[in-house]
A and B are shown apart, each in its own frame.
Chain A
Amino acid sequence: MRRSAVPLAAIVVAAALLGLLVYGLVSRSDNHTLDTAVAKGERPVAPSRNLPNLGRSGDRSLADLRGHPVLLNFWASWCDPCRLEAPILERAQRELQRKGGTVLGVTYNDVSSDSLKFVRHYGLTYPNVRDVGGKLAQAYGTRALPETFLIDRQGRVVALSRGAIDQRFVHEALAKVGA
């Protein structure tokens, strides 16, 4: 009985370490779940988290915007392509506002004072939240900026762009949600 205890304990410890290694690898691997589902024509549920507003007190989440189309955009002030698409997003905001929707900016790995300067510089009128720690970005599989997701009135992802968007993407995406 005593003789078999040592190998058994060694196996248990080795299995635990292996499990830990696998968990670490899986949790850090790229998340392409949304891309695959949207490519198949499905409408996966959009991940939502309560995040602090940029430049204002209080929190906001996607769940609060249920019933309205939302163009969710991950950005940062240090991201060069984000500067190019800022005017496109502002135009999309005006278009969406007329249909009861909104653009929702999410800052990623950015100092809030820098983000606010960016907002003022480009005259952005849509709301922005701060993804401190990047949990929402992780849920969307965001690895590089900018990335944009169109979410329908039921809170499902309809279209996405991993990279800067253009006017064509906005028109096609908004047509899918009838906005």
Chain B
Amino acid sequence: MRRAVLVAVLALALLAPAGAFAVQPRASLVDLENEVMCVACGVPLNIAESPQADRERDYIRGLIARGETKAQIKRDLVAQYGDNVLALPQDKGFSIAAYAVPIVVVAALIALLAVLVPRWRRRGGPLRTGATPPVVAGPPLDAADARRLDEDLARYES
């Protein structure tokens, strides 16, 4: 009997922290302001300064006071203002382009480099290693200039 109680107490002690971690963190206005827009002003709420932005902040404060989580507050804001209230583009419809275009561009650049780099290497182009750039020589000096240059250099070195 005592062993059973001990096992039960140990099990509770082990499970309790897991339960505590499962609790959603409390939403904060600062955190939400970074992720939502002032819909009437068309700028992120964290930089918006207008009566409409203040009203939106008050509304969020009210939802936080009611104990709603960040996800619940965002859902509530979407229900009031529509998808435009979210600062990050949605992962549906035309908004997907915001995520897809950078990936496509990077993939296209990598593919381009994969094709061009071996070609440059074969041709000894700009990426060839160990090559020294050619020295561009000026016109040859005549005898008088050469003598004057030698004299100047000798004077500087002395």
Q: A residues bordering B, Cβ < 8 Å?
A: 6, 9-10, 13, 17, 20, 76, 78, 109-112, 114, 132-135
Contacts and interface: CB of A to CB of B under 8 A. Distances in A.
Interface in B122-140: none
B112 interface: yes
Given A20-B97, A76-B40, A111 B55 contact: yes
Given A10-B112, A13-B108, A78 B101 contact: no
Given A9-B112, A132-B82, 11 more contacts: A6-B112, A6-B116, A9-B111, A10-B108, A13-B105, A76-B40, A110-B80, A111-B56, A133-B82, A133-B83, A133-B84
B108 A9 contact: yes
A111 B112 CA distance: 50
A78 B111 CA distance: 52
B51 interface: yes
A78 B59 CA distance: 13
B interface: dominant SS: helix
A72 B10 CA distance: 67
B8 interface: no
Contacts of B117: none
Interface residues of B, number: 22
B105 A17 contact: yes
A109 B83 contact: no
A76 B111 CA distance: 51
Given A9-B108, A10-B112, A78-B52, A112 B101 contact: no
Interface in B47-88: 51-52, 55-56, 59, 79-84
B39 interface: yes
Contacts of B115: 6
B55 A114 contact: yes
B104 interface: yes
Interface centre among A6, A17, A20, A111 (most CB of B within 10 A): A111
B55 A134 contact: no
Nearest to A132: B82
Contacts of B84: 133-134
Nearest to B79: A132
B55 A112 contact: no
B149 to A, nearest CB: 51
A135 B111 CA distance: 40
Contacts of B111: 9
13 contacts: A6-B115, A9-B108, A9-B111, A13-B104, A13-B108, A17-B101, A78-B51, A78-B55, A109-B52, A110-B80, A111-B56, A132-B79, A132-B81
Contacts of A135: 82
Nearest to B50: A78
